[in-house]
Amino acid sequence: MKKVLVIGYVWPEPNSSAAGTHMMSLLNAFRAQNWDVEFATPAQRTDHMVNLDDFGITSQSIALNCDSFDEYVKAYNPDIVMFDRFMMEEQFGWRVDKHCPHAIKILDTEDLQCLRNARHEAFKGERDFTTSDLHSDIAKREIAAILRCDLSLIISSYEMSLLNSVFKIEPSLLHHLPFMVDLSSLPTSTKTFEQRQHFMTIGNFRHAPNWDAVLYLQKIWPLIRKQLPKAELHIYGSYPPPKATALNNPKTGFLIKGWADNAFDVMQSARVCLAPLRFGAGIKGKLLEAMIMQTPSVTTNIGAEGMHNDLPWPGEIANTADDFANAAIEMHNNQSDFEQAQQDGNTLLNTLYDKAQLSAALIKKIDSISCDLSAHREKNFTGQMLKHHTMRSTQYMSQWIAEKNKKLD
């Protein structure tokens, strides 16, 4: 029986973000192998965090820049350590190397932070994104973390291609793992075209692309409302700040609903899901939820990126405010387009997001690496070079902070 230690950036909140849902899918995939799984994080506990005990997963609070982690990881002695985003590998990876050198190191990137940041910077600069924007300090840190690990989980097919073509990452170090959907639990039926009404969107307000999408919808919504004067836009999401709730306007049907007790319920009540994302990375949980609840979606190239390969999108893709509004209106009014989008969504779920197939492929990859970890690592000379003492700035900074904190105690 393998022992898995997952070092989280935050406590999992599957009802707050797609990242939380994805993390729980990974934890459950490990538990399905009858592996012992422990989740450890330096993050503060939250009101919306999942109770990991309910899933047979133990948990532990750990400290940043503290030698107490060394004793902890030695005592737990994991066979596999998975880091949630590159920042956790920077902080704890060298300690795992030192005390558990034979543990397989896996990096769950969630989405490429360097891609998201580069697109955001280009957007703020009101210019087109180019691959040269990727050559940032964040990219150097994130790619270094990928190279120091034995395997990195990449959620988007676009990001897989980017890592291969731009950063020349050896394919054996990467594994494409999109969101995993349990096809056996899909609803057998959802609300019909006639039973649904209005538009909706959903997303964590703390996530910059989601907040920008809400602001962009303020420009798009009057165009829709002009043609559909009785329509409403219901905007759901966790952690709505005052600047978001201030946008609530019942007179125009622009309604900030905030936290949704059940994202699937509010998704299937709407006729169309709107996701006008102008920057970001990874793949989008709200658009997958729309497919699951058979709700057509209108999004942008950024929103659909890496989610459908060459298959038809279950809705429409539009990249200007006018085109987006027209596509939303057409999808709202046309029942045949609505039902075709539902069929396209079902095709995507069955083709690209089958949990059984994706989970089996992941476990097979991990088992393959564990069978000959030394040979796997020998092929990754760059990763070994990055662990050399002259390249360990993160380790030395952490040790300096730890010593400083000891003197303060």
How many angstroms separate the CA atoms of 193 and 124, rounded? Answer: 39
The pLDDT value given to residue 391: 63
Q: Supply the pLDDT for residue 390.
A: 62
Per-residue pLDDT of the chain (409 residues; tens, 9 = 90+): 899 999 999 999 988 788 899 999 999 999 999 999 999 999 999 888 999 999 999 999 999 999 999 999 999 999 999 999 999 999 999 999 999 999 999 999 999 999 999 999 999 999 999 988 999 999 999 999 999 999 999 999 999 999 999 999 999 999 999 999 999 999 989 999 999 999 999 998 989 999 999 999 999 999 999 999 999 999 999 888 999 999 999 999 999 999 888 999 999 999 999 999 999 999 999 999 999 999 999 999 999 999 999 999 999 999 999 999 999 999 999 999 999 999 999 999 999 999 999 999 999 999 999 999 999 999 999 999 998 876 677 788 888 888 888 877 6
pLDDT at 131: 87
Q: Do 315 and 297 touch, CB atoms closer than 8 A?
A: yes
For tokens 């399905």, the residue is: 32
Measured from the Cβ of residue 110, the count of other Cβ atoms closer than 10 Å reads 21
Q: Count Cβ neighbours within 10 Å for each residue of 37-53 and write b for 16 or more, e otherwise.
A: bbbbbbeeeeeebbebe
Distance between CA 235 and CA 214 in Å, rounded? 8
Q: Say what the pLDDT of residue 249 is.
A: 96
Residue at 79: amino acid letter: D
Name residue 86's amino acid.
Answer: F
Terminal Cα-to-Cα distance of the chain (whole angstroms): 40
Contacts of residue 247, Cβ cutoff 8 Å, sequence gap at least 6: 214, 218, 254, 256
**Model-level pTM?**
0.92
Which among 256, 368, 289, 274 is positioned nearest to 330, based on CA atoms? Answer: 274
- Report residue 199 as tokens: 């538009």
* Residue 143: predicted pLDDT: 97
Categorise residue 51: left if φ over 0, alpha if ψ from -120 to 50, beta otherwise: beta
The DSSP bridge pattern shows strands 233-236 and 199-202 to be parallel
Tokens 């270094």 belong to 144
Q: What is the pLDDT of residue 38?
A: 98
